[in-house]
C-alpha cells in the first residue's frame, strides 16, 4: 500500500528526515512514535501531500505521491471543524464537494452519525460539543468519503484519559468492521501499542526500531500483562537501544 524509499526532508538547514525507508501493507495499522522534533509529523504530512519532497520517493498503491489524494482521509488534533456549520453539515461537506446527490448525502450522513452514536448532535455547532464529541464528528466527516488510507496526527492528545480510550476503542471497532490502512502519529506509548500493528520508533530524523505487535485487535489487551510488556519494550527503545538498520 505504502512504500517509502530513501526519503529525506529539510527545513532550510534543519534536517527533519534522513534516508527513511518504510513499507506499510494494505489494510494494516502503523503507529509512528518518538520525541518531539524527531520528524514524525513531517513524515505524516509528506504522506498526506501537504508538503512536497525532493529527495527519495513515496508510493501509495504503486502511484507516486504528488500532492494530496482524494482517497486519503486526514484527522488532525485540532479537529478542523467549521464553527459556523452544524454537525450534520460538517459531516456532509466532503460529499457536497464531490457533487454527490442530495438524497444520497442525507442517507450517508444519517447512517454514519448513527454508527458513531452522535446522531442526536446533528443540529449542534462545534462550540457546543465536548472534545470527544468533536473528535467523533471529525472521524465521521473523514470516514464518510470512504478513504483507503487514514492518516491521524495526535488525534487524541487533547482528550482526557477516559475519552481518549473511548476514541481509541472506536477507531479499533471501525477498523474491525471496515479495514483500511491507518498511519498515525502519537506521543502515547499506550496508544501506539493498542492501535498499531506495526510500531515505528523514531529518533531525530530517522527510524530507530520497528516492532511488530502480535496483540493488535484485542479490545481487552489493556487488562493483560502482554500489553504492558510491549509498552515496556517501546519505552526502552525510546530511551536507549541501537538504531534500526534502515535498508
Per residue of the chain (247 residues), give pLDDT as tens: 999 999 999 998 899 999 999 999 999 999 999 998 899 999 999 999 999 988 999 999 999 998 888 899 999 877 789 999 999 999 999 899 888 899 999 999 999 999 999 999 999 999 999 999 999 999 999 999 999 999 999 999 889 999 999 999 999 999 999 899 999 999 999 999 999 999 999 999 999 999 999 999 898 999 999 999 999 999 999 986 544 444 3
Q: Is residue 10 part of a domain?
A: no
- Is the residue at 75 inside a domain? no
Instruction: Output the pLDDT for position 236.
Output: 94
The pLDDT assigned to 158 comes to 84
Predicted pLDDT at 104: 94
State how many domains the chain has.
Answer: 2
At residue 77, the pLDDT reads: 78
What pLDDT score does 79 carry?
72
Residues 42 and 156 in one domain: yes
Residues 130 and 215 in one domain: no
Q: What is the pLDDT of residue 13?
A: 85
**Which residue, 14, 11, 21, 31, is CA-closest to 215?**
31
Pair 117, 151 in one domain: no
Q: Are residues 130 and 220 in the same domain?
A: no
Give the pLDDT confidence score for residue 141 in this predicted structure.
94
If asked whether residues 156 and 135 sit together in one domain, one would say no
pLDDT at 247: 38
Residue 90 · residue 141 · CB < 8 Å? yes
Query: Which of 146, 170, 194 is the last residue in one of the domains?
Result: 146
109 and 228 fall within a common domain: no
Give the domain range for residue 170.
28-51+147-247
Residues 242 and 173 in one domain: yes
Q: What is the pLDDT of residue 1?
A: 92
pLDDT score of 16: 94
Start-to-end CA distance of the chain, whole Å, equals 18
Amino acid at each position: 500500500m505504502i512504500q517509502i524509499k530513501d526519503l529525506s526532508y529539510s527545513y532550510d538547514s534543519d534536517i527533519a528526515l534522513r534516508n527513511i525507508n518504510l513499507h506499510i501493507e494494505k489494510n494494516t495499522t502503523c503507529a509512528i512514535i518518538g520525541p518531539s522534533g524527531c520528524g514524525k509529523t513531517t513524515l505524516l504530512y509528506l504522506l498526506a501531500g501537504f508538503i512536497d519532497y525532493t529527495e527519495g520517493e513515496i508510493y501509495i498503491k504503486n502511484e507516486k505521491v504528488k500532492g494530496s489524494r482524494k482517497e486519503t482521509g486526514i484527522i488532525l488534533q485540532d479537529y478542523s471543524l467549521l464553527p459556523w456549520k452544524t454537525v450534520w453539515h460538517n459531516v456532509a461537506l466532503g460529499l457536497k464537494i464531490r457533487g454527490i446527490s442530495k438524497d444520497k448525502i442525507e442517507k450517508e450522513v444519517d447512517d454514519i452519525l448513527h454508527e458513531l452514536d452522535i446522531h442526536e448532535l446533528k443540529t449542534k455547532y462545534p462550540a457546543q460539543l465536548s472534545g470527544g464529541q468533536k473528535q467523533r464528528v471529525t472521524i465521521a466527516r473523514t470516514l464518510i468519503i470512504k478513504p483507503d488510507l487514514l492518516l491521524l496526527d495526535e488525534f487524541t492528545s487533547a482528550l482526557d484519559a477516559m475519552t481518549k480510550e473511548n476514541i481509541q476503542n472506536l477507531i479499533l471497532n471501525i477498523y474491525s468492521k471496515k479495514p483500511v490502512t491507518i498511519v498515525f502519529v502519537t506521543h502515547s506509548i499506550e496508544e501506539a501499542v493498542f492501535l498499531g500493528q506495526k510500531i515505528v520508533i523514531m529518533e531525530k530524523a530517522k527510524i530507530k526500531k520497528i516492532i511488530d505487535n502480535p496483540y493488535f485487535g484485542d479490545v481487552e489487551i489493556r487488562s493483560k500483562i502482554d500489553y504492558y510488556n510491549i509498552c515496556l519494550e517501546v519505552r526502552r527503545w525510546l530511551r536507549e537501544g541501537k538504531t534500526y538498520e534502515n535498508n
